[in-house]
Every structure is written in C-alpha cells, then in structure tokens.
C-alpha cells in the first residue's frame, strides 16, 4: 500500500475538482459525503460542456452527420462501461437513469417474469433500500417471499447462515458489493458460486463497489451488476446495468416507446435485441458521455493507486475516531471500503452533523436508506463520513477534531 500511496498525488488530484476550493461558513470545504454523491472533475465537466456545444443531437435515428457523431460517442460510452466492468460484450451494458433504476429493471423484467408463488428472494440485512424495496414489490406481484440474510455484529456477511438458507425455493440472491453504511466489502464471488450451485441468480448492487473495488463481472460471475454515475465522479441521471447476454435475451422490456422495438402494428409489437430493448425513448446522451469521462479519469489515475490511497485515509480516520470516548464505529469488518458510520452515546447524529457543517465539514446523518440495518445494529441512525480519491489525512484529522468539538458542545 505504501508504494501505491506515494505515487498518488492527492493534492494534484484535488486541483482537478473545482468545487473543493469552496468555502462553507468561512471554512475550507471538507467534503465527506461521497457515498451519497461524489464531486466531479474538470474532465467530466468539460466533456459534457463540449458535447452540448459542438456535437449534441439525438442518437440512433438521425441520418445526418451530427446525429452520427452523437451516436458514436454514446455507443463509445457503452464500450467504456463494458471495459470498466470487464463484461464480455457492450450488448450486456444497459444504460439506465441510475443504480436504483437498474435494480428496478431487474425486479420488473426478471423477477416478475420468472418468479412464482412460494419462490424465495434472499437479501442481506445491510442492503440499501434500492436493493430491497424492488424485491418486495416483485414479491407482492408474484407471490414470492423476501427473506433476510444475516450480517454479523461486525457487519460482515454471515456465510454460514446464508448457505443454510439456500434450497430449491431460492431463485434470486441480492447483495451489495459494498455496504453504503458499514463499508463492508461482501464476498460476492463466493456468494455467486453458492447461489448458482443452488440454482439461483445473483443481483449485485455495485453502486459503492464500482467506486471502491476493482470490478470484473465475469470473474465475480454476477448475473446482474448495477452501477450509478454520480458516485463514481460522473453526472446524476445516468447509470448502467450489466446483465449476462443469455439472460437479457430472455427478458421482456422494461418500458415501452421508441428505440426498444423491432416492429409495431396496432395488433402487436416485437422487441429489439438487448440492450436497445431496455432503453425506451431518448436516452441520457450527454450524461453517458460524462460517465465515460469519469471512468476514463479514474482509470488514468490507476484504480489500485486510488484504492490504496483511500485505504490509508480510512485507516487514519478510523484510528482517530476510535480514540474518542463514547464513540462507537458501526461496521468493523476486515474488508472495508472508505466509509465510517458511528454513533455516540448521548449525541444525536443530526446534531453532530450540524455542528460539523459549521466547521465546513460535510457528512451524512440518518438511516442512510438502510432502516433494517439500523434495527440490526441497535441504533436509530448514525453519522457517516465517506471518503473519495480526493480525501486527505488532514481531512480525517479535521473530522476527528470536529467531532470532539461537537461533543464538547453537546455535553
């Protein structure tokens, strides 16, 4: 880790993000809410601006030069996502409006098409609502049942409990690659192998995993893998779903409209091949270009170097916060990404976050769209600091000092 950290120039990286020069309440911005949404580098801002200024048109249908240019850039963005995830084909990459949309697509098109009464969907206790509520909706529509996979007190995936739950009724397993609350990196490859051995499919919420882990969907053997652009330094309103081609080809459409059809008559319609089948209407053209620019930016810095840097900041912040009396870190898994959630006896997370904001430090307070996990961990809410490739040790120190100061005021 040390060698990779030394070669990663975080101060140079920070200069690529204009917003980091902002002051809040007269203090330098310390942005530690990256698990909710990360900031955008100049490369992304410039790529999207140039697209609007010089080469914007609707894609796929225009028989003129500008449309051809826009279509080329849009499909090149799909290839960039394919490369980033190591999918076998760009046809396995479906653009969506985000990770939530991608997971809902699977719930609608796969789960509701193939599940029947009594089938079981296994979902971990630590899931974001986006990887729980769609399965509940699918269960209500089909008569299937959602069952929770336990996590341990440390926030790790309980593999023994999981394997005991597997059986012929289990048709689908949904798991986050990395918890947005605990930072736990789940053993997805091992989970997928066990799920497949039991005859089930696996859906992976990769919205955090794609930011903090090296992703290879073929090595993981994921059936579906969802990502979102805004957490990986790209724009909002764009995400992607990877799906194995042989599965996508069996699925009905998600939405109806233009571009997802082969033929239309008043009597019936037939569907285009994937991925067009799942991309009805005018797509997120400029956003896709922005997502590709963000991925190119991350890959140019070096995924391993970024992860080593983030691990160093996480380790430093964890050590500093652990020394604060009364503070309990929620989620102490051996394999963690750059997220720390914590609770403090006698102090509400929202009060801590408000006082930190007065010092220019942006963190998140609440249940983080994971209410069942809060119940499991015995808290109603936590304060969460989440790190990014531009986070620094100095910011970790500012966080710890800010928490200590907030607690002194609250007590």
Q: Are 251 and 245 in contact (CB under 8 A)?
A: no
Total count of residues recorded for the chain: 411
Query: From the centroid of its chain, how far is CA 292?
Result: 16
Phi, psi of 315 (to 5 degrees): -60, -40
Query: Cα separation of 291 and 144, whole Å?
Result: 35
Stated pTM of the model = 0.96
- The pLDDT value given to residue 2: 40
Its CATH class, for the domain covering 2-31+302-410, is: alpha beta
pLDDT at 27: 96
For residues 69 and 51, give the distance between their C-alpha atoms in angstroms, rounded to a whole number. 10
- Integer-rounded Cα Rg, in Å, for the chain is 22
- What is the set of active-site residues? 369
Give the start-to-end residue ranges of the domains of the chain: 2-31+302-410, 45-299
pLDDT reported for residue 3: 40
How would you write the pLDDT of the chain (411 residues) with one tens digit per residue? Answer: 344 434 799 999 999 999 999 999 999 999 999 999 999 999 999 999 999 999 999 999 888 999 999 999 999 999 999 999 999 999 999 999 999 999 999 999 998 789 999 999 999 999 999 999 999 999 999 999 999 999 999 999 999 999 999 999 999 999 999 999 999 999 999 999 999 999 999 999 999 999 999 999 999 999 999 999 999 999 999 999 999 999 999 999 999 999 999 999 999 999 999 999 999 999 999 999 999 999 999 999 999 999 999 999 999 999 999 999 999 999 999 999 999 999 998 999 999 999 999 999 999 999 999 999 999 999 999 999 999 999 999 999 999 999 999 999 997
For residue 95, what are its two tokens?
């653009």
Residue spans of beta strands (DSSP E) within 26-158: 27-28, 30-31, 93-96, 120-124, 145-149
State how far the alpha carbon of 186 is from the alpha carbons of 149, 190, 281, in Å.
12, 9, 35
pLDDT at 7: 78
pLDDT at position 61 is 80
Which helix (H) or strand (E) segment holds residue 174: the answer is strand 170-176
User: Residue 34 and residue 322: Cα distance in Å, rounded?
Assistant: 21
Query: For residues 233 and 287, what is the distance between their CA atoms, to the nearest angstrom?
Result: 12
Answer whether 306's CB lies under 8 Å from 8's CB. yes
| Alpha helices (runs of H) in 88-244, residue ranges in sequence order | 99-106, 112-114, 133-142, 159-165, 188-197, 209-212, 217-220
Calpha distance 294→118 (Å, rounded): 43
CB under 8 Å, gap of 24 or more: what pairs does 270-276 form? 273/91, 273/249, 274/91, 274/92, 274/94, 274/243, 274/245, 274/248, 274/249, 275/78, 275/90, 275/91, 275/92, 275/93, 275/94, 275/95, 275/248
CA within 13 Å, CB half, 82: 17
pLDDT (0 to 100) of residue 228: 98
| C-alpha to C-alpha distance for 83 and 78, rounded to whole angstroms | 9
Q: How far apart are CA 38 and CA 333, in angstroms?
A: 23
Give the burial class of 343: count Cβ atoms within 10 A of its Cβ; 0-12 exposed, 13-18 middle, 19 or more buried. buried
The CATH number that domain 45-299 falls under is 3.40.640.10
Q: Which helix or strand (DSSP H or E) is residue 301 part of?
A: helix 285-301
Q: How many CB atoms lie within 10 A of CB 132?
A: 25
Residues linked to residue 264 through DSSP beta bridges, in sequence order: 269
């Amino acid at each position: 880790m040390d060698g990779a950290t030394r070669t990663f120039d975080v101060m140079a990286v920070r200069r690529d993000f204009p917003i980091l020069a902002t002051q809040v309440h007269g203090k330098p911005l310390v942005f530690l809410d990256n698990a909710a949404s990360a900031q955008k580098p100049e490369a992304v801002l410039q790529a999207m601006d140039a697209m609007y200024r010089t080469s914007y048109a609707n894609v796929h249908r225009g028989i003129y030069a500008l449309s051809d240019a826009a279509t080329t850039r849009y499909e090149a963005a799909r290839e960039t996502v394919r490369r980033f995830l190591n999918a076998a084909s760009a046809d396995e990459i479906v653009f969506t409006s985000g990770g939530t949309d991608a997971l809902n697509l699977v719930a609608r098109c796969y789960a509701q098409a193939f599940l029947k009464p009594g089938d079981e969907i296994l979902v971990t206790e630590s899931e974001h609502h986006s990887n729980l509520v769609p399965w509940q909706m699918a269960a209500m529509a089909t008569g299937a049942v959602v069952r929770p996979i336990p996590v341990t007190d440390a926030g790790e995936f309980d593999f023994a409990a999981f394997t005991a739950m597997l059986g012929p009724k289990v048709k689908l397993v949904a798991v986050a690659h990395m918890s947005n609350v605990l930072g736990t990196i789940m053993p997805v490859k091992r989970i997928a192998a066990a799920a497949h051995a039991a005859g089930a499919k696996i859906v992976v919420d990769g919205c955090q995993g794609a930011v903090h882990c090296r992703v290879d969907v073929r090595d993981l053997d994921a059936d579906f893998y969802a990502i979102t652009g805004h957490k990986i330094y790209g724009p909002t309103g764009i995400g992607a779903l990877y799906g194995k081609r042989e599965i996508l080809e069996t699925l009905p459409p998600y939405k109806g409209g233009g571009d997802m059809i082969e033929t239309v008559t008043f009597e019936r319609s037939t569907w285009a091949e994937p991925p067009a089948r799942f991309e009805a209407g005018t797509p997120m053209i400029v956003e896709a270009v922005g997502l590709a620019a963000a991925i190119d930016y991350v890959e140019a810095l070096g995924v391993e170097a970024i992860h080593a840097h983030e691990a160093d900041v996480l380790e430093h912040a964890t050590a500093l916060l652990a020394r604060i009396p009364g503070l309990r870190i929620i989620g102490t898994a051996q394999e963690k990404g750059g997220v720390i959630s914590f609770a403090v006896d006698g102090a509400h997370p929202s009060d801590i976050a408000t006082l930190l904001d007065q010092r220019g430090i942006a963190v998140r307070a609440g249940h983080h769209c994971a209410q069942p996990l809060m119940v499991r961990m015995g808290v109603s809410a936590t304060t969460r600091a989440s790190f990014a490739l531009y986070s620094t040790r100095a910011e970790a120190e500012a966080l710890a000092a800010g928490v200590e100061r907030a607690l002194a005021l609250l007590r």
